[in-house]
Amino acid sequence: MDGEPRRRGHDLARVDPRHLDLLRELADRRSVTAVAEATHRTPSAVSQQLRTAQRELGGIPLVEPHGRGVRLTEAGRLLADGGRDLARTIAQVQARWDTYLGSASGTVRLAALPSAATILLPGVLDRLAGTDVHLECTDVDIAESEYSGMVADHDIVVGHSFTGPVPAGAGHLVTAALLREPLDIAMRAHHALATKPRVTARDLVLHEWYGVPLGYPFDDLRIAVETTTGTPVRVAQRLRDNRLIEALVAAGDRVAVLPRYSTTPGAGIVLRPVHGMDAARWIVAILRPDRAERLAVRTVLEALRAAGAARVEGS
């Protein structure tokens, strides 16, 4: 409870629905400046609309000072949730209308982890060929907890998670598991461990690693190895790009965690599973509920699911 007074007689049917959408944007983006950038307005214009919305609602406070900016009050959060419901309803009607007209059409904005896109995107583009759905793709490589924040600017975000099919921070969004990809230990083809069909945690603490930044899903396997052995892993470098890691592994005696399906075959490296550890990452699509209703978005999501299933079946 924020303590603002309860008042009567405010008919929301007379309130401009754009105000609800603005409050939803503020709830998602957390600052007036971020909302202004996303909606191509000035911060003063956004602030003016917030004051107008508050005036139309009889002066009930919708935002309050917080640090150097503002945050939603209890009333503001209630209306922001209403903005989400309204956006989803409009999207459902649009989807039914598109179905009535006979086909999905429009642009779908996709942001995807490069290693996941390597597996999925060729099949998705093939399945969309000949349709009226246009895919705009962006590649992003960020920490697991940051993927959910990208749905504000993209229709579908494809990320990954080590812990399960719902990435950290995405519990309030629509998620769809596309595939579960095993994580293996990569080493050069003539490495001392390459003669083994699988390696152990104790094998791995005897060698230096190329790691990933802290907070990235692959790092959880390193933590599991340390927990099992009680010995810290020596990480020489922390890098994001899998192709760079492949090249470095092929050139020396360090090892690294790499995904089984998306690692380049025949690149001078071999992959070995870790004995006793069912290590894998979930590749997941994350969507805002309203955008998940669009027929064009659902078409792309089904293409992503089909591409993921085809990759698993072909492994």
Same domain? 55 vs 136:
no
Structure-model confidence comparison of residues 152 and 208, the more confident one: 208
Record the pTM.
0.76
On the question of pLDDT at 1 being above 50, the answer is no
Whether residue 264 lies inside any domain: the answer is yes
Give tens-digit pLDDT for 179-198.
999 999 999 999 999 999 99
Buried b (16+ CB within 10 A) or exposed e, 242-281: beebbebbbeeebbbbbbbbbbeeeeebbbbbbeebebbb
In this prediction, residue 305 has a pLDDT band, given cuts at 50, 70 and 90, of very high
Same domain? 138 vs 188:
no
What pLDDT is attached to residue 9?
53
Whether residue 137 lies inside any domain: the answer is yes
List the domain range (segments joined by +) for residue 202. Answer: 181-280
Same domain? 160 vs 215:
no
Same domain? 276 vs 245:
yes
On the question of pLDDT at 276 being above 60, the answer is yes
On the question of pLDDT at 265 being above 80, the answer is no
Buried b (16+ CB within 10 A) or exposed e, 104-143: beeebbbbbbebbbbbbbebbeebbeeeebebeeeebbbb
Same domain? 173 vs 306:
yes
Whether residue 216 lies inside any domain: the answer is yes
Same domain? 175 vs 287:
yes
Structure-model confidence comparison of residues 97 and 154, the more confident one: 154
Same domain? 80 vs 170:
no
Whether residue 1 lies inside any domain: the answer is no
On the question of pLDDT at 2 being above 60, the answer is no
Whether residue 3 lies inside any domain: the answer is no
Mean pLDDT, rounded, for 126-136: 94
Same domain? 169 vs 249:
no
Whether residue 99 lies inside any domain: the answer is no
Same domain? 194 vs 276:
yes
What pLDDT is attached to residue 13?
74
Mean pLDDT, rounded, for 205-223: 92
On the question of pLDDT at 133 being above 70, the answer is yes
- Give me 111's structure tokens: 């942001």
The CA distances from residue 28 to 49, 152, 154, 196, in Å, are 17, 7, 13, 49
CA atoms in the 13 A half-sphere facing the CB of 287: 21
Question: Cα separation of 7 and 109, whole Å?
Answer: 42
Same domain? 198 vs 235:
yes
Residue pair 62/23 in contact by the 8 Å Cβ criterion? yes
Give tens-digit pLDDT for 31-61.
998 888 888 888 888 889 898 888 888 888 9
Residues 6+ apart with CB under 8 A from 50: 22, 26, 32, 62, 63, 70
In this prediction, residue 266 has a pLDDT band, given cuts at 50, 70 and 90, of confident
What pLDDT is attached to residue 6?
55
On the question of pLDDT at 167 being above 80, the answer is yes
Helices vs strands, H then E, count in the chain: 9, 11
Whether residue 5 lies inside any domain: the answer is no
- Give me 259's structure tokens: 């995904």
Same domain? 198 vs 269:
yes
Highest mean pLDDT among 55-64, 90-99, 223-232: 223-232
What pLDDT is attached to residue 8?
55
Q: Residue 114 in 3-state DSSP?
A: helix
What pLDDT is attached to residue 195?
95
Number of domain units in the chain: 3
Same domain? 165 vs 230:
no
What's the CATH number where 62 sits?
1.10.10.10
Q: Residue 261 in 3-state DSSP?
A: coil
Pairing, β 255-259 against β 156-161: unpaired
End-to-end CA distance of the chain: 53
Mean pLDDT of the chain: 90
